[in-house]
Amino acid sequence: MKKSKIALMTGAAAVLSMGLATSSMAAGTLNFGCQNYAGGVINPLFQESASWNTLRYGIGECLFKFSDSMEVEPWLAESCEVSDDHKTWTIKIKDGLKFSDGCDLTATKVMESLLWDKEEGPNGTSNPEKYLEFEAEISADDATNTVTIVTQTAYVDLSKNLAHPTMCILDVADTEDFDHHAIGTGPYVVSNYTEEVGYDLVANENYREKVPYDGVKLLYMGDATAKAMALQNGQVDLVENITNVADIQALQENPDYTVDIATGVRCGFSWVNFDGPLGNDTVRKAVMMAIDSETICASPLVGGLYTAGYSVLPSNLEYGYDSLTNPYAYDVDGANAMLDEAGIVDTDGDGIRELDGENIVLKYSYYDNRLLKEFSQAHHMYLDAIGIGVNENESDSEGCWAELAPGEYDLSNNNWTTVGTGDPTAYLANWYSKGENYSRYHNDEYDSLYEELQEELDADKRVEIITRMQQILIDDAAVLVDGYYKSSMIYSKNVGNAHIHTADYYWLSTEITPAE
């Protein structure tokens, strides 16, 4: 079968980071303050955000990774070849690599990791089939150090899917504690985990490059101001995503600190549960019309860390945003009139409208990160103006995630990377009724377009399909969009270099070095 080589761009940043890591001497401990996602679990089977921890903590790596322009480039892989029908993928693994336990990274080890039973994780199917279908046939040839993946359907570029954190390569045969001591190929290794406190990491002595730090003390800090205070009092050297506007502005103005902000491909949005009062078209559309996202994003509350928008894909991506229309632009009078006309009114004078004889009180869940709390509380105030009650439910990311599958919410505010595979297909699967559809949303045309998108290999036609899918979600008022977030990494003069990547998967890497 004829094969052609997929272009794998190695960015200048990756080359630079290798040079820095090679020339730097290991020095002391890096103190890093960050949000506690997925309860601190690093087991990719636990839930998708746990796999992000594995990469972000520098414990695991994937076969491929993304540059800041979201181009795929090799990481543990050396090259990738694809058949003409885009169903057979032959991946050459780099020679001489090892897991942190000293085991060789062989083609068989990679195959075992990719075949790891994704359906028996603690929370069920937590490594979604949308990244690599369960039916894929995977074989290994240790003599040539190649892995061959044969899929049932054609992929535009499977290497992008294999760059997603859920596909990180672990030593699944020798690991005993995946939740807190997963064995990967990254620059750091877990030496100790303390629940709700964080991790002690040490340099991986089997890593292929010089690791800049002897160790990392990773401390969980859920409050943005706590992160800023810890940085300013010297408790930590590095933090991610301070979202208190006053704090981040003060740090930007202080020459003792560096604030690195990435152009965002993240969307802040609230899931809308169609199995509840928001399943009523009038109520749902009125909710969209009642909220002024432009004013929220421009307010001191948000301070420019979000760009306002109304589609699930950010306006800076080339997926037809400028051609989209929003029929539910902010119009509080129109929202009230719409509800009145439908007979959804307040009959007992308590200030809350009723639907089918019951007060409309929405359970609104959120966690305190990336300004989700601020958006949710602002939405609460806007919904009061149209007689829609709100019961705020502040949790953590794990708690919000646990509510999604059973549908124990009406609105649930989250912040997601939209092109996690360098393409929005996997993200758009969130509203595909035959997949993991946490909102219980169903639109036959959307489903048909999603299936067409999975098969379409032509780039221009894919943009047309994606644009239409966005418009359907807007027309159906299927998603409450906050806006498009900009991630950040902030560090003191103790750190010589740190960078927040566009993909936001890569935190503790050999790029981060001590100050000279």
Q: What digits encode the pLDDT tens for the residues 91-123?
A: 999 999 999 999 999 999 999 999 886 554 444
Helix then strand count (H, E) for the chain reads: 14, 24
Note the pLDDT of residue 18.
34
Q: Are residues 46 and 101 in the same domain?
A: yes
Q: What mean pLDDT is predicted for residues 469-475?
A: 98
In a domain, 235, yes or no: no
* DSSP letter assigned to residue 402: H
Q: Does residue 247 sit within a domain?
A: no
CA distance 342 to 364: 24
Query: Cα(417)–Cα(268) distance, rounded to whole angstroms?
Result: 9
Reported as type and span, the H/E element at residue 306 is strand 306-307
Rounded to two decimals, the pTM is 0.80
Token duo for residue 488:
């950040």
On whether both 454 and 334 belong to a single domain, the answer is: yes
Domain-embedded: residue 35: yes
- 293 in any annotated domain: yes
The pLDDT of residue 3 is: 45
Query: What digits encode the pLDDT tens for the residues 372-415?
Result: 999 999 999 999 999 999 999 999 888 898 999 899 999 999 99
The H-or-E segment that residue 253 falls in is helix 245-253
Do 404 and 469 fall within a single domain?
yes
Range of the domain at 181: 3-11+25-211+487-514
User: What pLDDT does residue 22 have?
Assistant: 34
Residue 255 domain flag: no
* pLDDT of 513 above 50: yes
Looking at the fold, whether 445 and 503 belong to one and the same domain comes out as no
pLDDT for res 47:
81
| Per-residue H/E/C for 321-358 | HHHCCCCCCCCHHHHHHHHHHCCCCCCCCCCCCEECCE
**Axis crossing angle, helix 372-384 with helix 281-290, rounded to the nearest 10:** 110
Whether residue 156 is found in the same domain as residue 60: yes
- Check which CATH number belongs to the domain holding 93 and give it: 3.40.190.10
Q: What is the DSSP letter of 244?
A: -
Q: What is the CATH number of the domain that holds 460?
A: 3.10.105.10
Q: Within a domain: residue 116?
A: yes
Average pLDDT over residues 26-53: 89
Both 457 and 496 in one domain: the answer is no
Amino acid in the structure at residue 125: T
Instruction: Examine the domain organization and report whether 87 and 107 are in the same domain.
Output: yes
Q: What is the mean pLDDT of residues 494-504?
A: 92
Q: Which 8-state DSSP code applies to residue 163?
A: T
45 close to 54: Cβ distance less than 8 angstroms:
no
pLDDT at 51 over 50: yes
Q: How many Å separate Cα 117 from the centre of its chain?
A: 22
Is residue 251 situated within a structural domain?
Answer: no
pLDDT given at position 370:
86
Q: Are residues 175 and 290 in the same domain?
A: no
How many separate domains does the chain show?
2
Task: Using the predicted structure, report yes or no on whether residue 315 has a pLDDT greater than 80.
Answer: yes
- Helix, coil or strand: residue 89: strand
Going from the C-alpha of 103 to that of each of 117, 170, 188, 275, the distances in angstroms are 21, 11, 15, 49
What is the per-residue pLDDT for 190?
98
> Measured between alpha carbons, how far is 447 from 323 in angstroms, rounded to an integer?
21
Sheet containing 266-272: give its strands across.
306-307, 479-485, 266-272, 411-417, 361-367, 389-395
The residue-averaged pLDDT of 471-489 equals 96
pLDDT of residue 202: 98
Angstrom distance (rounded) from CA 262 to CA 265: 9
Q: Residue 140's pLDDT band (boundaries 50, 70, 90)?
A: very high
Both 176 and 316 in one domain: the answer is: no
In a domain, 219, yes or no: no
What pLDDT shows up at residue 127?
54
Average per-residue pLDDT for the chain: 90
Assess whether 416 and 382 both reside in one domain.
yes
H-only helix segments in 101-239: 107-115, 158-161, 224-232
Q: Are residues 457 and 492 in the same domain?
A: no
Token pair listed for 43 = 């087991």
Let me know whether 491 and 398 are in one domain. Answer: no
CB 231 within 8 A of CB 253: no
pLDDT band at 4 (very low <50, low <70, confident <90, very high): very low
